[in-house]
Homo-oligomer: A and B are copies of this chain.
Amino acid sequence: MGPLPRTLELFYDVLSPYSWLGFEILCRYKNIWNIRLQLRPTLIAGIMKDSGNKPPAMLPRKAKYLTNDIQLLGQHIQVPIQFPKDFFSVILEKGSLSAMRFLTAVNLEQPEMLEKVSRELWMRVWSRDEDITEPQNILAAAEKAGMSIEKARALLEKSSTPQVKNQLKETTDAACKYGAFGLPVTVAHLDGQTHMLFGSDRMELLAHLLGEKWMGPVPPAVSARL
């Protein structure tokens, strides 16, 4: 028996494009590196509020850069990411509260579905420019991920219970305690030490900390499958 896997917590919100990139990279490496990946649905609006940070796209020059950066990274990382046409309405006004509560309910009741449902929500908002705030659209993402419509409806109902609301708040608070001022945040628990890494561009550094091999954002085992 080899050494025990190290725990990585990935705090993410489907509203955050860099969260999607980080999520796909870690989902690819979770069966290559000796890690146990915990997906932690988090509310980015709560993190911004608590840290006093502002979305980078509020600065016009950063907004322009982000559009290019995300397009180039999407090609490189092989994630079909596309900016929504009306970024300010989709990201800053509509937000992700219902979607992240739904993912929190999925995590509580059917954690094995969390990865797929999260990905389908990103496919909606960050690839096909589709809504993720209306109940029928959240249900559509869950169905596309392979969940039965009955189960999806039950989880949507559960989404508005205090249990789920509190759990999302607790997870968001936990990210803040680790020092988050945005998402994604990866927390690596290694030999009694805790490292918080911000963004999707610290994965090679993460490999270094883990003593694992970095093989780029599309490791060979995955590129064979793509």
The chain A residues found within 8 Å of chain B, CB to CB, are 51-53, 59-62, 64-65, 68-69, 72-73, 75-76, 179-181, 195-199, 201-202, 204-205, 208-209, 214, 216-217
Given known A214-B216, A216-B204, A216-B214, contact A181–B62 (CB-CB < 8 A): yes
Contacts A72-B209, A195-B72, A214-B216; A61 near B201 (Cβ below 8 A): no
* CB <8 Å contact, A196 and B61: no
What CA separation (Å) do A176 and B76 show in the bound complex? 26
Contact A59 B181 (CB under 8 A): yes
Which residues of chain B are within 8 angstroms of A51 by Cβ–Cβ distance?
Answer: 59, 61-62
Known: A68-B196, A76-B205. 14 other contacts (CB 8 A): A51-B62, A52-B60, A53-B59, A53-B61, A62-B181, A65-B179, A68-B195, A69-B198, A72-B195, A73-B205, A76-B204, A199-B201, A201-B201, A201-B202
How far, in Å, is A29 (CB) from chain B's closest CB? 15
CB distance from A191 to the nearest CB of B (A): 15
Question: Once bound together, how far apart are the Cα atoms of A73 and B198, in whole Å?
Answer: 13
* A217 and chain B: residue at smallest CB distance: B204
Which of the residues B52, B195, B197, B205 comes within 8 Å of A59, measured between beta carbons?
Answer: B52
Q: Contacts A208-B76, A209-B72, A216-B214: A65 and B201 contacting too (C-beta < 8 A)?
A: no
Chain B residue with the shortest CB-CB distance to A176: B61
A209: nearest residue on chain B (CB-CB)? B72
Q: A202-B201, A204-B204, A216-B214 are in contact. Are A181 and B72 (CB under 8 A)?
A: no
- B214 A64 Cβ-Cβ under 8 A: no
Residues of chain B lying within 8 A (CB to CB) of residue A198: 65, 69
- A178 CA to B37 CA, complexed, in Å: 39
The 6 closest A-B pairs by CB, nearest first: A201-B201, A61-B181, A51-B61, A76-B208, A76-B205, A62-B181
Q: How far is the CA of A198 from the CA of B53 in the complex (A)?
A: 20
Q: Which chain B positions have C-beta within 8 A of A197? A: 69
- Please determine whether B196 and A65 come into contact, CB atoms closer than 8 angstroms: yes
